[in-house]
Structure 1
Amino acid sequence: MRQLAAIMFADMVGYTALMQENEELAKNNRQRLKEVLEGSVRDFNGKILQYYGDGSLSIFGSAIDGVNCAIEIQRQLQQAPKVDLRIGIHTGDISIEEDLVYGDGVNLASRIESLAVPGSVFITEKVIDDLKNQHDISTHELGYFELKNVKNPVRIFAISNPGLTVPVRSELKGKLKPPSNRLAVLPFVNISPDPENEYFSDGITEELLNALTKVDGLQVISRTSSFAFKGKHDDIREIGIKLNVDKILEGSVRKAGNRVRITAQLINVSDGYHIWSENYDRDLNDIFQIQDEISSIIANRLRENLSLASQKEHLVKTSTQNPTAYILYFKGLHYWNKITPADAYKAIECFEQAIKLEPEYAQAYAMIAAAYSYLGATGQLKSEKAFDIVHRFSEKAMQLDDSIPESHIAKASAFLFFDRKWDAAYQSLQKAIHLNPASMGAYQVLMLYYLIVGKKEEALETMEHAIEIDPLSPITNHHLAEAYLFNERYDDAIRISDQILEINPQLRIVKETKGWCVGMKGDWEKALEYFKDVQRVHRHTYKGLAPIGFAYAKLGQREKALDIIAKMEERQRQEPDTVIDGDLLMVWWALGDKDKVFYYLNQCLEKKMGPINYMFEHPVMKGITDDPRVAALKNKILRLEQIAAQV
């Protein structure tokens, strides 16, 4: 039997040693533990599955019950005669067969318990999500830990209610493998007289971060997670815990006229020690040399820890020596990182201005390709128009400099979303990741590649790896939630979505993902509420309507669903450059009109509107592949793929 449960391991501390010193006291303590454990587990609706030596395994239908039970057990055992106990709790799948209990959830709960200290209750991030709005339960984050036989780092919290032990991270030495040669580059602070120079300091940070990803043996946290601390004053140790890094690079930039001062410090997280610091006062014309010097010094400092020989190298490479073009490029990055269609167009304008000043500016060509790829893939611009530009500009960038990851990612997107050249897309993405292992854009497109070719588990593994490099990014976390959705792990997708929405409550794509998950679990009324909220955020009468129409259809409200379709068709007339055939087919699918569904599927195919394989894999379209017309469509796609591969 397989089930989802809150799993609690409890283990008496020092029992074996006490048996050797005072056998009677050891047996009395064990009996007291058993009485308290059995009474508390029963009171909180749990079940003890196993006793093993001086420990036990219990399960609960609710994480809240499990945590409250653990608190009560520790409260009682702190009273005389005191019994030192460690408790670890995790929520996950378990399998029960006769007297055997097993599963990844069991293994992880056991590891959490072994990490705990006497008098403490340790829980995982999954449990935290279930404790929201439980004001009588307090927690303290201990950070990420790399645990034995657990693939990815685990974020752990201690229950901090009165009477419970809450250790500092340093007390857990010897029980964990600390992060090694993991670096975060925090946003350099703009201390220029003009606050508009913020884009310049951000650009300097991003260039240094990208340069340091080229250092072998060093894992650099992605930009989005590092920039989560912009404008904040968190303690270095706390940042290290949240990002699971052992070193941090921070600094400031002051730009006045043609002069620039850059201050940089490399800090050891564990003790706050400044490994290296330096000030640079230079002309703006020397900005490239400064960045190269800083990144090379840091790289060699880190190599010392890796026992590698220092190297003379140029980690910062730019295809312009024109400071004005460089500043325009930074402005373009500033808009690009806002991740909205309107800002993508502003970014393109800045990159185009940079190219006018510096016609051989490879990075600017690459970023124009990236921006048009985004517009084409999201239906903001007709695929044919968008991806023609993507091909031209990415190829120009690669002719000038083949080492820019963004040009390969953009090219992969064109192969994937327009040309149907799956193998070429995969090779381009592997090249991008090789050039920059912290490139989240590459991982996100790689996830989509795996979904398109029907490898859902690989898609999830890709994003689980990406989240190690970019743990705080809303976009990376959203792609992880999407991967869970496609793998029909709806509770995990909802958990990740809730984490994002707690920090960024207006992210409509995240609300939409949560709505699909809630609906697929059977509550289309609640899903409709989420979808309507998403549509309000759009602030446009005809945008964001497809999920609403889908939910109306699922709820049997056919006339309302048809009204949604009419509004979507009106948008198509008003905005002929947009492509919404995929949205229309989803609502018709929910209404049960398969003829309409296949009409729009063929329209998607003719217009090269994204790969329709992706739609076949989406959980809300479950059952569509049973229709014999899908086989004919797939054969047609295969023929087109074969033709595309020969071009």
Structure 2
Amino acid sequence: MNQPRKTYLLENYSLVPDEQLLSRSGQPIHLPKKPFQVLTYLVEHRERFVSRAELLDRFWDGKDVYDDALRKCVGAVRKALDDQSDHARFIETRWGVGYRYIGPIEEQVVRDETTITEIEKTRGVRIVVEEEEIQHEPAAVERPGIDFSPAPALSLPAPKRHTKTVALVLITLAVAIGAIGLVSYRRRPAVIAIHPAQIRSVAVLPLRNLSNDPESEYFSDGITENLINTLSRIEGLKVISHGSVFAFKGKEIDPREVREKLGVGALLEGSVLKSGERVRINVRLVSTEDGEVLWASDTYERAIGDIFVVQDKITRSVAAGLRIQLSGEGERRLAKRYTDSVEAYEAYLKGRYFLNKRTPDGIAKAIEYFRRAIEIDPNYALAYAGLADGYDKVYWFIRLPPEEVMPKEREAATRALELDDSLAEAHVALATVYGNGWDLSNAARENERAIEISPGNAESHHNYAYCLVHLDRPDEGIAEIKRARELDPLNVVMNVDVGEVLLYARRYDEAIEALNHAIGMDANRANAHYDLAQAYEQKGMDGEAVEEYLRNEVLDGESQETIAALKAGYAASGLRGFWLKKLEVARERSKRSFTLSIIPARLYARLGDRDRAFDWLEKSYAEHLPTLVDLKVDPMFDDLRSDPRYIDLLRRVGLQA
């Protein structure tokens, strides 16, 4: 009896899924089991991109391999089809999305006219092929023919014509095995691999937003950040911060690359699909040493109201996968919730999403969402901490006068701490308020408390580093800023600030090395070039210094006319001529727009005009500018340090002379 058989014609290739047969112009092409399965799956789902996670879950069961196996698999398919990834004819790769079959195709359904003997010969070959492993397979090549004789080691007789009954049994057995496999796949439970050693470091990679709706990006990013912050509460666990892990967003990654760049033993990755009032989350914990999946979740598909339960399950499972034994206090920290309102939580996530953009429009939207979260839940301490952070960014990024924003920042931070003294973010917010108000001792205390609560909070270590340097404890400050960088190694801001702290500590050679490294990461950071110029100037390297100062001006958006004037000033009388022109530009600008009084103060100090420098410093003091905490460490003020007026100003600001 003839059986219907589906055949795909891919240009001059023929793909027969039921026989696991790929041929070209009638000549069979050897392709191992996994690549054949992947090719067939892509062909059968050619109307869409198929994600890496979907292929890994379907064909590797999501627990024993990683993306490297998939890349080799797709590479074997391309080799068999003589397809080049840079000029793809059959398989298209879209980074961060997946793979799709794009080649010509003609689908045929035919009846098999071969004899039972021929069917069995084909099956005999297929059994051998299925047992091959791709990692032992050389590059796929066309074969002139296939030897249908049995392998000698099996000691099997030559193939004979069998009865239809035997054929039927084989078919029934194959179907049964397939059905068992299907049931096993569909019912696959969460898996935890047995790993011999405890892992003390992890990176939570940005969860993929599967909704194809950019408006839902806040949710996937917010869940990612929540997992980072929650895991950071585990004592002794190094958790990479937001700034570094989001450098991997939307990119194809290899766990070994993550290990190399972030210095972690494991990574957590997955996806989020938010649709109306439902949310679906898939995550897995992967060893960066060998790509082994240490833990893979069931699909968490719940009502949006259960999001807190899902997050709690994930963090506990990750801790178990890392083989971390939690203390009673550790358990309580992981289980802690900051609101029971999903609506308030979503507003908070949107606030964080927009605040991370660091744009005036983004900061304004963030403040609106934090306020909305507080309206929904007036006891939401985390939202108050976010609001305080938002007001702080208003000062630094929008440049509003401090008297307009600092009182609001203080009010929000204080309220956050009143509601929850055990909230690290609240202590960070209050530390920032104290620092902006020149109260460095209390700022240091609050940062220490934040670090005690959440040892893996990079922002706490970063802010504490500056407190320590301003408090004349440079070695401790350097240790803290390096710890912050360790927790956030790909964050350019963190790398620039390592250089700046070294500059303030007067370790110029190390500062130059660190700042050049940061510029290598992102050459468009204006302040990195400015700090590097200062380090060069302190070492008497005037030519190198003015080059970096000019790069800073270009990146800050200065006009070509101004750049030419600064160059002319330097050509006429060296760095002094450069600074004189810079002062002239600052004067003209102050007539048209708000200018921080610290700017002319620094320029006059650099040019040796002490009286005018102190006039402007007194204005900065009267305006209570937060930047006055830099008085002791900013190299621009070095020529003032012996002046009694400077010593008196340090005393009034609260800095020991």
1:386 to 405, 423, 435: 405
Using the alignment, how far apart are the partners of 2:272 and 2:374 within structure 1? 25
Using the alignment, how far apart are the partners of 1:424 and 1:616 within structure 2? 18
After superposition, the CA RMSD in angstroms is 3.2
Listed one character per residue, the Cα deviations across residues 298-344 of structure 1 (whole Å, up to 9, x for unaligned) are 22333x35597998546254433333332222222122223344432
Which residue is equivalent to 1:416?
435
- Shift in CA distance, 207/519, structure 1 to aligned 2, threshold 3 Å: same
State the secondary structure of the residue aligned to 1:617. Answer: coil
Using the alignment, how far apart are the partners of 1:325 and 1:528 within structure 2? 50
Which residue is equivalent to 2:424?
405
Which residue is equivalent to 1:592?
608
Q: Does 1:510 align with 2:528?
A: yes
Unaligned 5+ residue runs, structure 1? 1-177, 642-647
- Shift in CA distance, 376/245, structure 1 to aligned 2, threshold 3 Å: same
Using the alignment, how far apart are the partners of 1:615 and 1:421 within structure 2? 14
Q: Does 1:181 align with 2:197?
A: no
Which residue is equivalent to 1:125?
none
Residue 280 of structure 1 aligns with an amino acid whose one-letter code is Y
- Shift in CA distance, 574/289, structure 1 to aligned 2, threshold 3 Å: farther
Using the alignment, how far apart are the partners of 1:541 and 1:372 within structure 2? 30
State the secondary structure of the residue aligned to 2:632. Answer: helix
Listed one character per residue, the Cα deviations across residues 460-493 of structure 1 (whole Å, up to 9, x for unaligned) are 1111222222222111111101112112333322
Moved more, 549-558 or 497-506: 549-558
Which residue is equivalent to 2:24?
none
Listed one character per residue, the Cα deviations across residues 385-406 of structure 1 (whole Å, up to 9, x for unaligned) are 2221111001111222223322
Listed one character per residue, the Cα deviations across residues 194-213 of structure 1 (whole Å, up to 9, x for unaligned) are 13322211110110111111
Which residue is equivalent to 1:292?
312
State the secondary structure of the residue aligned to 1:522. Answer: coil
Asked if the contact 1:554/1:591 (under 8 Å) is kept, the reply is no
Which residue is equivalent to 1:601?
617
Which residue is equivalent to 1:281?
301
Q: Does 1:195 align with 2:214?
A: yes
Larger Rg: 2
Deviation at residue 269 of structure 1 after TM alignment? 2.1
Listed one character per residue, the Cα deviations across residues 411-437 of structure 1 (whole Å, up to 9, x for unaligned) are 11221222x322211111111112222
Which residue is equivalent to 1:337?
356
Using the alignment, how far apart are the partners of 1:292 and 1:390 within structure 2? 31
State the secondary structure of the residue aligned to 2:506. Answer: coil
Asked if the contact 1:478/1:497 (under 8 Å) is kept, the reply is yes
Deviation at residue 277 of structure 1 after TM alignment? 0.9
Which residue is equivalent to 1:349?
368
Deviation at residue 246 of structure 1 after TM alignment? 1.1
Moved more, 234-243 or 372-381: 372-381
2:257 to 200, 219, 238: 238
State the secondary structure of the residue aligned to 2:641. Answer: helix
Which residue is equivalent to 2:544?
526
Which residue is equivalent to 1:490?
508
Q: Does 1:614 align with 2:630?
A: yes
Using the alignment, how far apart are the partners of 1:513 and 1:364 within structure 2? 34
Deviation at residue 352 of structure 1 after TM alignment? 2.1
Using the alignment, how far apart are the partners of 1:564 and 1:482 within structure 2? 22
1:475 to 493, 498, 501: 493
Using the alignment, how far apart are the partners of 1:311 and 1:452 within structure 2? 33
Deviation at residue 582 of structure 1 after TM alignment? 1.4
State the secondary structure of the residue aligned to 1:622. Answer: helix
- Shift in CA distance, 288/314, structure 1 to aligned 2, threshold 3 Å: farther
State the secondary structure of the residue aligned to 1:202. Answer: helix
Which residue is equivalent to 1:158?
none
Deviation at residue 295 of structure 1 after TM alignment? 0.7
Using the alignment, how far apart are the partners of 1:568 and 1:201 within structure 2? 44
Deviation at residue 550 of structure 1 after TM alignment? 14
State the secondary structure of the residue aligned to 2:334. Answer: coil
- Shift in CA distance, 571/355, structure 1 to aligned 2, threshold 3 Å: farther
Q: Percent identity?
A: 32
Using the alignment, how far apart are the partners of 2:516 and 2:599 within structure 1? 25
Residue 565 of structure 1 aligns with an amino acid whose one-letter code is L
- Shift in CA distance, 191/533, structure 1 to aligned 2, threshold 3 Å: same
Which residue is equivalent to 2:597?
581
Which residue is equivalent to 1:204?
223
State the secondary structure of the residue aligned to 2:631. Answer: helix
* Greater share of residues in strand: 1
Asked if the contact 2:267/2:286 (under 8 Å) is kept, the reply is yes
State the secondary structure of the residue aligned to 1:608. Answer: coil
Residue 237 of structure 2 aligns with an amino acid whose one-letter code is L
Asked if the contact 2:530/2:552 (under 8 Å) is kept, the reply is yes
Unaligned 5+ residue runs, structure 2? 1-196
